[in-house]
């Protein structure tokens, strides 16, 4: 059956809380071996946000903490606990100029990471992760060189943005991060430039980024949305 579940979301001032219960039937093939695991996962999250404009903030931040897991006692094929911390912040400098920073860390407490389904592992790379790399292309690999995700995650980014003409502007940025099974794994780093358009529904971003610690080709990234 497809994944299904339910969640309750509530807003208390600047706090948003989430309680969830999800079911997943996972069928993964890694290094030629196929496994199937059913997961019953309660979860909870809390997000605190404060900003001066919901579409184009020049001052504010958003910080979220999320946890989910499963236990064999309540019908899950695997016992584990997965947690993430994720934050974004923006600060205006002068007219039309902003600095944006973001970061995310995550980890899974599990007896053997090889037993963890791919859906609950961490991956890095992509528009909202480490630009300059394909979506979910960073992480531990199997014997065939396929990225299979890791037990831990660390990602960070800093970006400078300047409006130039009306709602059009430009940005320069640097991203770093990786998914890993041990915290001493090297992070991958990229840098790039981008065009910005401040629209009524958020910022349209066109970025070109390239790894600074490898020979990967430059990649184009497109995204639109609010910063916080």
pLDDT value, residue 9:
96
Q: Which residues pair with 152 in a beta bridge?
A: 107, 180
Cα 166 off chain centre by: 31
**What does pTM read for this prediction?**
0.92
pLDDT value, residue 52:
94
Angle (nearest 5°) at CA 159 between 158 and 164: 170
Tell whether the torsion through CA atoms of 113, 70, 177 and 220 is positive or negative: positive
Cα 80 off chain centre by: 20
pLDDT value, residue 22:
93
pLDDT by 10s per residue, the chain, length 228: 667 789 999 999 999 999 999 999 888 888 778 889 999 999 999 999 999 998 999 999 999 999 999 998 888 999 999 999 999 999 999 999 999 999 999 999 999 999 999 999 999 999 999 999 999 999 999 988 899 999 999 999 999 999 999 999 999 999 999 999 999 999 999 999 999 999 999 999 999 999 999 889 999 999 999 988
Cα within 13 Å of Cα(32), Cβ side = 2
Closest CA to 69 of 29, 11, 117, 28: 117
Contact call for residues 78 and 25 (beta carbons, < 8 A)? no
Report the run of H or E that residue 62 belongs to, with start and end: strand 59-70
pLDDT value, residue 57:
94
Tell whether the torsion through CA atoms of 196, 197, 202 and 208 is positive or negative: negative
Cα within 13 Å of Cα(74), Cβ side = 12
pLDDT value, residue 1:
60
pLDDT value, residue 31:
78
Q: Give the C-alpha separation, 109 to 83, whole Å.
A: 9
């Amino acid at each position: 059956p497809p994944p299904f579940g339910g969640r309750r979301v509530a807003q208390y001032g600047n706090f948003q809380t989430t309680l969830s219960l999800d079911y997943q039937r996972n069928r993964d093939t890694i290094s030629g071996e196929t496994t199937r695991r059913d997961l019953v996962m309660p979860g909870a999250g809390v997000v605190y946000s404060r900003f001066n404009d919901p579409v184009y903030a020049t001052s504010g931040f958003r910080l979220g903490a999320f946890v989910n897991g499963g236990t064999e006692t309540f019908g899950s094929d695997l016992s584990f606990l997965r947690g993430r911390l994720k934050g974004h912040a923006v600060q205006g400098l002068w007219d039309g100029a902003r600095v944006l920073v973001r970061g995310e860390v995550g980890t899974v407490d599990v007896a053997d990471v090889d037993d963890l389904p791919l859906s609950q592992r961490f991956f890095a790379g992509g528009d909202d992760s480490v630009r300059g790399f394909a979506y979910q292309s960073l992480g531990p690999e199997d014997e065939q060189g396929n990225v299979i995700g890791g037990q831990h995650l660390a990602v960070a980014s800093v970006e400078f943005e300047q409006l130039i003409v009306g709602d059009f502007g430009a940005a320069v940025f640097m991203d770093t991060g990786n998914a890993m099974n041990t915290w001493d794994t090297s992070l991958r780093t990229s840098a790039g430039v981008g065009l910005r358009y401040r629209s009524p529904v958020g910022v349209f971003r066109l970025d070109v980024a390239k790894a600074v610690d490898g020979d990967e080709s430059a990649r184009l990234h497109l995204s639109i949305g609010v910063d916080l």
